[in-house]
Amino acid sequence: MIGSGSDDKTVKIWDVTTTKLTNTFTDHEGGVNQLKFHPDGTCIASGASDKSIKIWDTRSQRLL
């Protein structure tokens, strides 16, 4: 997996083997400028210009 954050306020998760988009998370109100995966890949934290931090469960595709 690889993650990307964007000025369009989304976090996207990509499968590096297939190069396909697997998840899009859309809860930020500002551009996403930081991402960090949990070492086991089950969660990703994102930080945005709206001064918020969100933690996403990559398995259930839900905001925690």
pLDDT digits (tens, 9 = 90+) for 26-41: 999 999 999 999 999 8
Q: What are the residue ranges in the chain where pLDDT is below 50?
A: none
Q: What is the pLDDT of residue 35?
A: 96
The DSSP output letter for 26 is -
Q: What is the pLDDT of residue 3?
A: 94
Give phi and psi for 45, each to the nearest 5.
Answer: -105, 140
Count up the domains in the chain and report the number.
Answer: 1
Kind and range of the H or E element at 41?
A: none
Q: Which domain holds residue 14?
A: 2-63
CA distance readout (Å), 61 to 15, 27, 49: 15, 12, 22
Residue 57: half-sphere exposure toward Cβ, Cα within 13 Å: 6
Q: What is the pLDDT of residue 57?
A: 94
